[in-house]
Structure 1
């Protein structure tokens, strides 16, 4: 088998790998693409995806209320504003010193309470759809549904999708470059 035939055979194999992998993982690439676009636009979505950060009255931490007082206030606001029996399980506390705010993000329902760090006043109460979108994007949603602690679904999903993207990049490049190389070789041989 000569060099040109070998290259043509490799090109056919790469085309088959590219096509098969694309067909098998289409829905996953679709989800990654759509959620990636949404996450890229989250701060420019007019608060449809994530609440806008407000500005507090002081950026001096020494003037701020203690975190436990702010947390109690956030929980009270959430219960008074949304539902008295809403879960108060906290996902994280996000301190934005340069903005003078503290954000309390709740685990089960993705509500966010933004408080002025110095006064404890409510600055914003909003739903964080970005957390759900991020969980879809990286596969964490399956670990949440199946209540896994080591996040095996996220690890498997991101590994498969990362390897597939690498495979697409390599085979896609070769599908573009291979015919050019064959054409150039054919011109040299004539």
Structure 2
């Protein structure tokens, strides 16, 4: 087998990296497109004027000693959910988001996108809104597949984020080499020309 000189070796590596870069891009195009769009939307969620996520409103007291018990606030949120939105919606909570500095508590539900914000001190409703950001986050990190298939350990999210993370790392390395490789070849060629002169 013929031994390649350094310039031929660099050119061969460059061709391999170009093929890998192109093949990865073609195979994962749709996923990169979804990742990019959802990433942009999540970056803008707080500045979306309630389109992606409801604005956080301010309650009357930031001192927790003046707040109603969390159990009372929870019962109030469930009443508001059934009375003001729909009696058919699930009451299973995903989380309770306490915003002490804002004097407000958010009740975020597991099986739908509604959120209810209550004043921590009075229990008054500050806002009822839809959290489109949760769906976007689930799409962004692959959790949507775990939701559809009702998996508890979230294997789809782990597989999806691992593949996309490794693909992005591969894109970074091959992309850098596609930029740097030709410069290195040109430098090597110029050095050889100067030596021959």
- Shorter-chain TM-score: what band? over 0.9
* Secondary structure of 2:28's aligned partner: helix
**Deviation at 1:9?**
0.2
Q: Kindly indicate whether residue 116 of structure 2 is the aligned counterpart of residue 113 of structure 1.
A: yes
Q: Kindly indicate whether residue 143 of structure 2 is the aligned counterpart of residue 134 of structure 1.
A: no
**Deviation at 1:39?**
0.1
Q: After the TM superposition, which residues 69-84 of structure 1 pair with which residues of structure 2 at under 5 Å, given as runs? A: 69-84=72-87
Give TM-score scaled by structure 1 length. Answer: 0.99
* Secondary structure of 1:174's aligned partner: helix
* Secondary structure of 2:127's aligned partner: strand
Q: Kindly indicate whether residue 16 of structure 2 is the aligned counterpart of residue 6 of structure 1.
A: no
Task: Structure 1: give runs of 5+ residues left out of the alignment.
Answer: none
Q: Kindly indicate whether residue 43 of structure 2 is the aligned counterpart of residue 57 of structure 1.
A: no
The aligned residue for residue 171 of structure 1 is 174
Count of matched residue pairs: 190
| C-alpha separation in 2, matches of 1:28 and 1:84 | 37
The aligned residue for residue 67 of structure 1 is 70
Which of structure 1's runs of 4+ aligned residues deviate more than 6 A?
none
Task: Structure 2: give runs of 5+ residues left out of the alignment.
Answer: none
Q: Kindly indicate whether residue 127 of structure 2 is the aligned counterpart of residue 124 of structure 1.
A: yes
| C-alpha separation in 1, matches of 2:88 and 2:114 | 14
Give TM-score scaled by structure 2 length. Answer: 0.96
**Deviation at 1:89?**
0.8
* Secondary structure of 1:20's aligned partner: helix
RMSD between superposed Cα atoms in Å = 0.5
| C-alpha separation in 1, matches of 2:115 and 2:89 | 13
**Deviation at 1:84?**
1.4
Q: Kindly indicate whether residue 113 of structure 2 is the aligned counterpart of residue 104 of structure 1.
A: no
The one-character-per-residue Cα deviations of 1:97-131 (angstroms, maximum 9, x if unpaired) are 00000000011111100000000000000000000
* Secondary structure of 1:54's aligned partner: coil
Q: Kindly indicate whether residue 97 of structure 2 is the aligned counterpart of residue 94 of structure 1.
A: yes
* Secondary structure of 2:133's aligned partner: helix
| C-alpha separation in 2, matches of 1:112 and 1:82 | 10
The aligned residue for residue 18 of structure 1 is 21
The aligned residue for residue 164 of structure 2 is 161
